[in-house]
Amino acid sequence: MFAIATKNFVEEVDNRGLLIPVSSLNDTIALLTVVVKRKRFWFWQKPKYLPTDFHFNDILIGEMPINPDVSEADFIKYTGTFGDNIQGSVDAAFVKANVNLEGKDSSKLQSSFGSLKKDEVDVQKLLQDCKDRVLDMSHCLIQQAKEKHKRVFGIVKERILTTQPCSVIEEVQQGGQCGGSLSSCGPKSHKISLKENGSLSKDSNITMEIPTQTTIAYGLIELDVKQDGCFVLCLMSDTNGGFEVDGAAKQGLLSVSGTPVHTSEIGLIQQELVRLKDNFQLLSGLPASIRSSLLQQITELMQDPPAISSLQKVLEQKYLEPGLGDVRPTDSEQQKIQGILDLLVPSQAGQSTSILTALHLIISALDEMTQDCLEYLRICSNPTTLRTLEQLVQCVSENKEMPLSSAVLTEDVYINTKHLFSLSNVSLKKDGNVVRTEIKHPQGNLPLVLCIAIRSLASLAYCG
């Protein structure tokens, strides 16, 4: 609940992606706190940030502590409300039976953080203070981080704090009604009649009180660490830190699938879709009944972003990268997760990893999307619309246009699709008898993530 509220806050106030939402009230984030950044399975996934119990001074050699100059400033006053409403009904009449079903599901998350302030380190003075300083490479935190794959050190340079007691409120309402009648006449004119009307409702209202001086988001400076403990502060947002390996100069970052980070946006999308082709083929090669059930369950999962995150962690920690830690989904999340895993975990262990990697690909792409983006994608996740979306992905990756005659693009579908693509920094325009796509903001991986999600879902719908 707190993690969703801080994530929503960061998405609203920081479109450059420099702020990191605090995921747990148990995390103590002070200026110059050491945070471990863990790179993910796919290069386009946002990294995970693990705050430690250590201050920057704790891992430096020498007794002279660094005491940074800190500036304080008012940030913003923030109140956000996020939610959705789902309602539906079914009426069915048979020769000897009538059935009526109604359902309603609504949820609302309100974050009232109030007036916020920002603490920020004077970076120029910090540079001076760090001159000729060396990290203690024998420190247990550094030793453990070096042993793990894809770890980077960062120190907190700024943080957003509450200035007054505030709250996060979650309201959930679930309700349903069913009614029906059944009659039967036997050959001896015996008559049985059954009438039943019932209702089920479940409401919850949870309020979390947040104390003053609680950090809800923070920014980092990454460290580029040499083997001898010398380090450089990475001041540019596009400069990455890390540990020097075997004394050799650090090479350019590579994705798990081998794609260089520094590539033109369109070229990157095209290359990555080609590299992931085997995963798409694995999904489209599943039996039709499994593909249909999997598409349905994943579509339903899009209404529950925390469950998507939990499934992604389960796949990563249990099957793809064991030893990363343990994840504990809630009971409702566990039920959804297990239903999906039961469809895909085969009896032959030799096939398990590849199929689960393909599932991890879909879920990881969905986990990178905002809640609004997930909602529009859910609306579009039927086989006919996915076929059109897949054609549009080809337009994006090959910088081409699509004839309107080749797609089922009704006005409603076009509006929803336009919103979906816009939320991922891709513009969609009708121009005469064609549809054109254009990447609006080259920075970031949102267009690539959207293309991967659509291609994966289309593979389950067997669209191409």
What does the pLDDT profile of the chain (464 residues) look like in tens digits?
788 888 888 888 887 778 999 988 888 899 999 999 998 889 999 899 999 999 999 999 998 999 999 999 999 888 777 665 444 444 433 333 444 444 444 566 777 888 899 999 999 999 999 999 999 999 999 999 888 778 999 999 999 999 988 878 876 655 444 444 333 333 333 332 333 444 444 455 678 788 899 999 999 999 999 999 999 999 987 788 888 875 443 443 333 444 444 457 788 899 999 999 999 999 999 999 999 999 999 999 999 888 999 999 898 887 777 666 666 777 778 888 888 988 887 544 445 678 899 999 999 999 999 888 999 999 999 999 999 999 999 999 888 888 877 667 788 888 999 999 999 999 988 888 888 888 887 667 899 999 999 999 999 997 54
State whether residue 267 is helix, strand or coil: helix
Q: Per DSSP, what are the bridge partners of residue 115? A: 77
d(CA 232, CA 226): 9
d(CA 417, CA 426): 11
CB 70 within 8 A of CB 48: no
Residue (of 64, 47, 54) closest to 33 by Cα position: 54
**pLDDT on residue 204:** 57
| CB neighbours of residue 143 within 10 Å | 11
Residue (of 56, 442, 61) closest to 220 by Cα position: 56
**pLDDT on residue 275:** 94
The sign of the dihedral angle between the CA atoms of 157, 163, 165, 166 is: negative
DSSP string over 379-408: HT-SHHHHHHHHHHHHHHHHT-EEEGGGS-
- Long-range pairs, 136-145, Cβ under 8 A, ≥24: 136/59, 136/60, 136/61, 136/229, 137/227, 137/228, 137/229, 139/58, 139/59, 141/34, 141/52, 141/54, 141/58, 141/59, 142/59, 142/225, 145/36, 145/243
Residue type, 222: E
CB 28 within 8 A of CB 218: no
Q: Left, alpha or beta for 396 (phi > 0: left; psi -120 to 50: alpha)?
A: alpha
Residue (of 393, 418, 421, 436) closest to 266 by Cα position: 393
Residue (of 406, 405, 399) closest to 437 by Cα position: 399
d(CA 414, CA 428): 9
Q: Is the pTM of this model over 0.85?
A: no
What does the DSSP 8-state code read for residue 253?
P
Between the alpha carbon of residue 182 and those of residues 70, 101, 195, the distances in Å are: 74, 15, 7
